[in-house]
Amino acid sequence: MDDLAKLNNKFTSGRVFEVYGSFQHGSFHSARPAKYLPAISKKQFKDHVEAGLKHNIRFNYLLNAPSYNNLEYTHTGQNELEELLNFLTDCGVQSVTVTTPYMVELIATRFPQLEIVVSTIGYVGAKRGIDQFYNAGAKRIVLDVETNRDFRFLRRVTPKAKVDLEIVVNPVCLYQCHFKFSHYCTASLGGRIHPSGCGHPYNGYYLNWCYLEKLKNLGEFMRSPWVRPEDLSLYEDIGLHHFKIAGRGLSTEELLSRASFYLHGSFSGNLLELLGWPHWLQFRTKADGTRLAPLDIHLENDDINGFMDYFNQQEPSCYLGCEGCGHCDKWAKKHIHTNDMRLLQSYIETMQESIKTLVQEKPTPQESEEQQERWNKAAAAQRLSQ
């Protein structure tokens, strides 16, 4: 927290006003799997929240899983939820991020001292959705990332919204990907308590598929709805002033670095690294067990000044499809480079084979048990020292 406070003292144009997170797993978990989150004690959590408050930095607790298996509708479930929320408020937590409407209204009614923030996983991308969640008790809404470049929509809803609106600046999803809801459901179950450990394990189908699509068509890297540090002013001019940087699971140094670049409003280097995108490197292992060499894909940030002007000035209806446009593909062809085109093709072939295996081959009982064991070990390894 001291480092974040230093950033806030360094920059005057903006500040880090809250951080966010959750416990590693539980009945009411977040949308991230346990094996990627630190296993912290209640004391560590309380100390962390208090450290932030000393620097006027709030903590936002994530209850943003898309489903809790209907536990929230039961007597036992509501007792567990109230116990958790009482603990959070006692620690000084001031806001919670929630996905489902019922949870929004339940918490707003029983814990009015908490600011309710609607998660981007709530997929609010229409004025009607903003109004619905406001009426349920929300005070802030993190918009669906698909709205990031829909300036026509943002200009119309932001000034009249009865809640604060926020965007995620560094999403890695494919634009208009209708697989992401299933991906979030899968990931969130990785944080639910399991009889054999913490979290239900899953394979890499969705992430593999996502980055396979990007490698097959590099224009997808440009279409993905990221926002560069240099482009924040476009949104501030509209009236948006809340910007969320994703990256739970990253090191403290990486998170501080990202925050610094966005506060400064400038970045030089490979934009894909700032966004945290080299996930294709997770799929280097071929069927015979050998590994491909690292594949480098480079998008120099300084070279794409003006890319966002098209969306800001022309207000294209991107949700209708890319046919007849070519804007993103043109910029990708000119500015996205790789260290080896043949290696790129090898990655594509390896990832295609991986998808084929995941779909066609059923895991044995032993393989499923081993996967759960690996998951438990990975989660246990995230424990922090006192």
Contact (CB, 8 A) for 59 and 19: yes
**Residue located via tokens 């932030």:** 52
Q: What is the pLDDT of residue 279?
A: 87
Cα–Cα distances in Å, from 222 out to 117, 126, 142, 258, 336? Answer: 29, 24, 22, 19, 9
Q: What is the pTM of this model?
A: 0.94
pLDDT at res. 380: 80
For domain 2-380, give the CATH number: 3.20.20.70
What residue ranges do the domains of the chain occupy? 2-380
Residues of the chain scoring pLDDT < 70: 194-197, 384-386
What is the per-residue pLDDT for 249? Answer: 75
Strand ranges for the chain from DSSP E = 18-21, 58-63, 95-98, 115-118, 140-142, 164-168, 193-194, 197-198, 242-244, 297-299, 336-338
pLDDT digits (tens, 9 = 90+) for 15-30: 999 999 999 888 899 9
Report pLDDT for 104.
98
